Amino acid sequence: MPAAVAPADAGAVLHGIGVGRGGAVGPVVTVARPVAAPTDEQPPTDRAAAQESVLAAFGTVADGLLAQSAAATGAAAPVLKATAQMAQDKALRSQTLARIADGEPPVHALDAVIETFEHMFVSAGGYLAERVTDLRSVRDRVAAEILGVPAPGVPVLTEPSVVVALDLAPADTAALDVDQVLAIVTELGGATSHTAIIANQLGIPCVVRARGAADLVEGTTVAVDAAAGTVTLDPAPQVAEAFARRAQVQARLAEDTAPGALVDGTPVALLANVGKAADAERAAGAGGPDGPAVEGSGLFRTEVLFLDRSDAPTRAEQAEVYAQVLRAFGDRKVVVRTLDAGADKPLAFASTAEEENPALGVRGYRLRRTVPELFETQLAALADAQQETGAVPWVMAPMVSTATEAREFASAARGHGLTTVGVMVEVPAAALRAREILAEVDFVSLGTNDLAQYTMATDRLRGELADLIDPWQPAVLDLVAATATAGGEVGKPVGVCGESASDPAMAVVLAGLGITSLSMSPAAVPAVRYALAQHTTEQATAIAVAARAAPDAPAARAAALALLDPTVVEVLALR
């Protein structure tokens, strides 16, 4: 671990990954570390009684999380429910009880089982690797129950504070008093972790993977800049003033609800990523009476319906949710992504053979090879929702690699009466053969998170390799350009629904490459709309050319910033 950073280190800066664009200044409040297994913990004299006690501890933790889930709203509710289901997991419980039956002390037995599951999750990568924090949260709560001590977590806040932790469990994040939390900083975690997602939804500035954060001294004043991904100790007074000005600017930008476009009128549709009907209703209603803040949804993640279930949702269950989303957006565009699960997002009801490299395994559209009934039922449910609402969804399949797969998907979807069909471009093969793929479908959408992962051969969750997986990598931009060029030549839309769409500077580059729509978190739309509106098509194209000519990701971003309209850089604090 790095040495503790004390208040005397005024002006010292910790660097991490920012979530959101906000900033805040305040005193550090540290989160209590989890309770360790006692070094003198003895084997139970009454093994049956010890098993009952541990089983009761699991039950108490699960019930508490379910109660929190019932009281929560937005993204926090399903996250808490998923963590509760982990505490209810039969394998987790039975393996712990089996070790106790063999004479192991209860907390040591629990830790041994948790370690086994952690290794399994990390090896699987992707969605499961991101759930290691949830798993540790369950362990810490159950261990505290076994030992009869308070559960670790965020202390009661008596003043607005910056919450700092080695890592923060989603259950703790969901329970935060938003009126007292100025920002969140963690040394571990990732930008797509549950904690980061909840913080973003709550509008709390957040910096994750900030090395040295866990050693910050309680009470130290820090400035957390989510836009820059930095944590500054004992900042100058001007920093708080700059954050306040930035917040005022963001509020003003949010008042603009015009369709996305470059200054010369070239349209770039601004869309929202959603995962549930409630997300769709909030995004569709944003903007108020003066008009919608978004022009539809460019990514409806349907896998939220499937994950953490013991059986597949029925056709009727799916159709009801799909209809809710379509009704929320009315006559606006809704792009529905078919089930993106399997391998790194395993389904309890559709188990496949164990895979040594899940990121390259049976996931997304490839599930049709092993569980075709899931695929057909989902398309039928989408058709039902289309008939009920009168809205025409755009439907696309993830993890498509060839024109043959695109043709098969298009045929199946159109066979169910779905008329606007596309695929996601997430692997280099699809980008390189975009022209042939577009001959089979009506549109494509680039998932830049996975495209960067596969292009750079870098696991998205390996924080120490963040420089390689950066979407600013020129090789990734080259593949985006190849796809957009193919779309322009055949006159078909090419969108981006990965995280890069929410970066205002990158948005201008993407527009310059020929991307026709950008889908992102609704909160990111105002800044992106403003950045686009300050540049002509010619300027955006020149900025994109400069970024692609750079030798690496930092140089590509620097090249783009150097050519961006200076007011955009200043107003959006992009440097």
Say which of 108, 206, 497, 535 is annotated catalytic: 497
Question: Is the torsion defined by CA of 230, 231, 236, 242 positive or negative?
Answer: positive
Per the CB < 8 A criterion, the answer to whether 544 and 477 are in contact is yes
Element holding 566 (H helix, E strand): helix 566-571
The H helix count followed by the E strand count for the chain is 23, 16
Q: Is 108 a catalytic residue?
A: no
Question: Partners of 443 in the beta sheet?
Answer: 422
Name the pairing type of β-strands 269-274 and 161-165: unpaired
Indicate the Cα dihedral angle 120, 273, 475, 481, nearest 10°. 150
**Catalytic residue, candidates 15, 108, 119, 194:** 194
Which residue in the block uniquely carries the two structure tokens 């949804």?
297
Q: How far apart are CA 403 and CA 441, in angstroms?
A: 9
Q: Residue 101 is encoded by which pair of tokens?
A: 């039956």
List, as one string, the DSSP characters of 487-542.
HHHHT--EEE-SGGGG-HHHHHHHHHHT--EEEE-GGGHHHHHHHHHT--HHHHHH
Q: Is 497 a catalytic residue?
A: yes
Q: How far is it, in rounded angstroms, from Cα 86 to Cα 90?
A: 9
Distances (CA, A) of 361 to 347, 350, 397: 14, 14, 16
Q: Tokens 């200043």, residue?
A: 570
**Cα distance between residue 126 and residue 275, in whole Å:** 17
Tell me the one-letter amino acid at 354.
E
Which residues are bridge partners to 14 per DSSP?
A: 231
Distance from C-alpha of 401 to C-alpha of 423, rounded to nearest angstrom: 9
**Distances from the Cα of 167 to the Cα of 38, 209, 225, angstroms:** 22, 9, 18
> Within 13 Å, how many C-alpha atoms sit on residue 253's CB side?
24
Active-site residues: which are they?
Answer: 194, 497
